[in-house]
Amino acid sequence: MKVDAHNRNSSEKRSRCDRVLRGHSAFTLIEIMIVVSIMMIIMGVGVPSVIRALERDDLARGLNDTIEGCKTARDRAILQAVPYEFVLTAEGQMEVRALPLEGGPIGAPRATPQAVPAGPYSGFPRHLGEDVIIQMVDVNFISRMDTPEARVRFFPNGTCDEFTVVYNWKGKQRSVMADIITGQVTEYIRP
């Protein structure tokens, strides 16, 4: 009989422990409400930042398109040993074109630009956003604001014309400059 009483006591203890453990294995309503309120606070702080980041910024896109167009012209000039030009029109159209070849020594074979397939990353022509204003454009230190287009030449040796363009969008100004020695085109940030 002592064994039965001992077994009964131990089984009652186990069933009480099981009930206690089962009762604590789920989340309480208070815990869930606390977690949800913390998530809402985090979202309330983060959502406006995400919305601002997703907002369309024509100025940044225009700068990136200008830099990419110049880099495309430089790369093609070097790879094909033919001068290329980046063209920016007064209407904001951007294009990359091969320059017409000049005559070389008599009897020398003339290099011709090879057709380069327009990839998804260099698909030109492109166009500035509607609200982006070309505030200044200089090529070889001469203003091209009064001309229908500005042409920046890139040569097979990696050099280029001097080029500076300033864009204005909703009161923000940003500039792009080309280094004449290296042909590298970057955003110019004033100190």
Is residue 179 over pLDDT 60?
yes
pLDDT of 62 reads 87
pLDDT of 107 reads 42
pLDDT of 102 reads 61
Strand order in the sheet with 172-178: 142-143, 133-139, 163-169, 172-178, 185-188
- Residue 106 tokens read as 């008599």
CATH number of 58-99+121-188: 3.55.40.10
Is residue 132 over pLDDT 50?
yes
Domain regions of the chain by residue span: 2-49, 58-99+121-188
pTM for the full predicted model: 0.63
**Short-list 153, 186, 173, CA closest to 74:** 153
Is residue 33 over pLDDT 90?
yes
Distance of CA 79 to the CA centre of its chain: 25
Helix or strand holding residue 164 (H, E): strand 163-169
CA-to-CA dists, residue 152 to 10, 51, 52, 96, 139, angstroms: 91, 37, 34, 10, 7
Q: Which band of pLDDT confidence, cut at 50, 70 and 90, is reported for residue 109?
A: very low
Q: What is the mean pLDDT of the chain?
A: 79
Q: pLDDT tens across 136-167, in order?
A: 999 999 899 999 999 999 999 989 999 999 99
Is residue 25 over pLDDT 80?
no
Q: pLDDT tens across 64-97, in order?
A: 889 999 999 999 999 988 999 999 998 889 999 8
